[in-house]
Amino acid sequence: MINVTKTYLPPMEEYTSYLQRAYDKVWLTNRGELVKELEDKLKSFLGVNHLTLTTNGTLPIQIAIKALDLKGEIITTPFSYVATTSAIAWENCTPVFVDIEEDYLTIDPTKIEEAITDKTSAILATHVFGNPCDVEAIEAIANKHNLKVIYDAAHCFGVNYKGQSIFNYGDVSTCSFHATKIFHTGEGGCFITNDSELHHKLFYHHNFGHKTPTSFHGVGTNAKMSELQAAMGLAVFDHINEIIEHRKKAVEKYDELLDQTSLKRLKIRPGTEWNYHYYPIIFNSEEQLLKVMEAMNSENIFPRRYFYPSLNTLNYVNRNEMEISESIAKRILCLPLSAEISYSEIELIAGFLKP
């Protein structure tokens, strides 16, 4: 079976050596030494100032909305995983969709201003498949209209844009460390900001609002990462460069084999050091996609339709038409890609896509 991705598992003895430290301390949660060590390593590797680990990748978005005191409408993309929109709705804000750029698949900044109203409080944009949004244009719009900016950077581990981490853009960036990601902690995530005062607020929101064991800054939830998750993260982190390098070679092999097809592929924004997280292809029609999927599935190959359906069609949002997002969502398919996929597997998959 070849799935759309395969979780990278470090050697068991390396994982258990980190776990042993948690056992020896008898400290499994509430920000033990493994969580703090992993945060320090990630801040150094990613080139960011303030990073706090969380138990999953969705809570950081909700916490960012809460910490920024957002109300009313939040402009967002219809082309993302459902967590982006559901986090807005969960925090009792209204998602307002803006269509995407056809090549980069990120929110189209030329369409944002027409969606701004006196109820707009923020822009929540997604860097799609690790491909950065037009962050300069979004920043200019946000500054002009006094809006906050949150980036859902779930796919962006290790991505740099114009010489710095993509996480350094916006008021807050969030990331997912789910088991399917390049870097993972089994389940997990983080929030990142350059603003020390905002980070303080984000931090206490993720820890029940605690100031001391018996006093509180304000409202909070429990989003803390456990030592068990951090142990996995530390073990995976030790191999991160080889993981990215293997994926890079796999993407280059796909490119070589699919260059002569009519399939459209993701265009990476200039100035980006990409992380080779996903390999999406865009068919000419949904019928063509479904036919290829069926053929692959019959041979135990399971690509996935990221992101389908377009989020503006969800049953709990205002269903305004998003022509490009809806069209792309019906025709895009992510091919299997992992740190262990072989050239022979890639050749097998590519065979289903050649004329």
Chunk the chain into consecutive blocks of 10 residues (it has 355) and report each block's average pLDDT, rounded to whole numbers.
97 98 96 98 98 98 98 98 97 98 98 98 98 98 98 98 97 98 98 97 97 94 98 98 98 96 95 98 98 98 97 94 98 98 98 90
Residues 190, 134 within the same domain: yes
Q: For 218-233, how does the pLDDT look when each residue is reduced to its tens digit (9 = 90+)?
A: 999 999 999 999 999 9
Contact in structure between 193 and 199 (CB atoms under 8 Å) = yes
Q: For 179-189, how does the pLDDT look when each residue is reduced to its tens digit (9 = 90+)?
A: 999 999 999 99
Residues 81, 225 within the same domain: yes
Domain that holds residue 38: 2-237
Q: Do strands 120-126 and 164-165 pair parallel, antiparallel, or not at all (unpaired)?
A: unpaired
According to the model, what pLDDT value does residue 337 have?
A: 98
Residues 227, 251 within the same domain: no
Residues 247, 229 within the same domain: no
Domain boundary (190, 216, 237) is at: 237
Domain boundary (179, 212, 237) is at: 237
Residues 28, 121 within the same domain: yes
247: left (phi over 0), alpha (psi -120 to 50) or beta: alpha
Name the domain count of the chain.
2
Smallest CA-to-CA distance from 304 within 267, 325, 278, 328 is with 278
Residues 287, 157 within the same domain: no
Residues 188, 275 within the same domain: no
Residues 204, 330 within the same domain: no
Contact in structure between 248 and 276 (CB atoms under 8 Å) = yes
Residues 38, 161 within the same domain: yes
According to the model, what pLDDT value does residue 354 have?
A: 85
Task: Output the domain CATH number for residue 192.
Answer: 3.40.640.10
According to the model, what pLDDT value does residue 355 have?
A: 75
Task: Output the domain CATH number for residue 278.
Answer: 3.90.1150.10
Domain boundary (237, 260, 282) is at: 237
6: left (phi over 0), alpha (psi -120 to 50) or beta: beta
Q: Do strands 120-126 and 148-152 pair parallel, antiparallel, or not at all (unpaired)?
A: parallel
List of residues 6+ apart from 33 with CB closer than 8 A = 21, 25, 27, 227
Residues 229, 286 within the same domain: no
Residues 336, 221 within the same domain: no
Contact in structure between 238 and 38 (CB atoms under 8 Å) = no
Residues 204, 256 within the same domain: no
